[in-house]
Homo-oligomer: A and B are copies of this chain.
Amino acid sequence: MAKIKGWNPEIKRQKILDSAIKILNQKEYYKCPIDEIAKNAGVAKGTVYLYFKNKEDLHLSVLINLIDKVIDIAENVKKNDSPAKRQLFLLLQRIFNFIDTYRHLFLSIRQEAKPPLKEKLHNQFRKKIGELIKAISIIIEKGIKDKELKPYPSVAIATVFLSLTSIIAHQKVEIGKHKIQQIDISTELLFKIFMEGIRR
């Protein structure tokens, strides 16, 4: 506390987090040494371990941080009082843009973690994802109530909706980026399918 006037652990923690976001978004988890993340944050390797229990913790914290931002997006869209359909379109667009920026990171959601942390960290992560899906499903419920949308289970629909965003992320990576052929899956088309389906 006495260390630096105005020293704030949250600021340094965020600095490391930001560095981790940047580095982990450039390449695979296993190609991102803690040391590189630390250097990029302008701190020593050991400092990272003052703020994060281990690499796994840092990784999950990064993901939680990102999802928080997506939740913010959803909350903002919810405030807007357009009809649900319009809100969902805005949400799709905004999440898409966001995910597009952090594509690698969103793809890096790994399944493994060292046993002792696995549970605690992963629980936090799952909880965050749950929060996000909840936020989306509230919009959908409104749409159902207003007879805009079919009365499907809102959480399921929210989950599909959320997946649509990552469809785009995947496409971009697997195909778009490598130029086989620029498959044109615009937000508009995707949304149209989501709303009206492809059946004539």
Contact = CB atoms under 8 A, between A and B. Distances in A.
Interface string A141-155: 000000111101101
Contact of A184 (B126, B156, B178): B156
B156 A122 contact: no
Given A104-B111, A113-B104, A159-B185, A126 B193 contact: no
B130 A31 contact: no
Per DSSP, chain A at the interface is helix
Copies in the complex: 4
A5 interface: no
Given A152-B198, A155-B181, A198-B149, A31 B112 contact: yes
A27 B181 CA distance: 32
Nearest to A163: B167
The size class of the interface chain A forms with chain B is: 35 or more
A72 interface: no
A193 B160 contact: yes
A153 B116 CA distance: 43
